[in-house]
Amino acid sequence: MPRIIGKLTLYDIDDLSNSLGMNKKSLLERYIRTGLIKAKKFGVKWYVTEQSLQEFFNRTDNPIAQKQSSIDIKE
């Protein structure tokens, strides 16, 4: 569940890994530590803002978007 502080919405890595159906370690190593998703560490937890997520999904070099756009959808 996201944490809301004023106008800022924060997601922790546990929330994101569950929501995206992705392993927590993969999320940290492939996306956050490489800089594809901007995150900050407070204490022992990593947090990602809603804005950082939007920027990631709007990137043209986003590996998740490229994978999904290569799938043919049949109606």
Distance from C-alpha of 45 to C-alpha of 35, rounded to nearest angstrom: 17
Q: Is the pLDDT of residue 42 over 60?
A: yes
Number of domains the chain contains: 1
> Which two tokens mark 43?
């204490």
Q: Which domain holds residue 46?
A: 3-69
Q: Which residue has the higher pLDDT, 48 or 59?
A: 48
| Per-residue pLDDT, 75 | 42
Determine, yes or no, domain membership for 37: yes
Rounded-to-integer distance, Cα 19 and Cα 23, Å: 10
Q: What is the pTM of this model?
A: 0.70
State residue 74's pLDDT score.
44
Q: How far is CA 4 from CA 23, 60, 62, in A?
A: 24, 28, 26
Q: What is the DSSP letter of 39?
A: -
Predicted pLDDT at 38 = 93
Q: For residues 69 and 2, which has the higher predicted lDDT (pLDDT)? A: 2
Q: Residue 74: inside a domain, yes or no? A: no
pLDDT band at 66 (very low <50, low <70, confident <90, very high): low
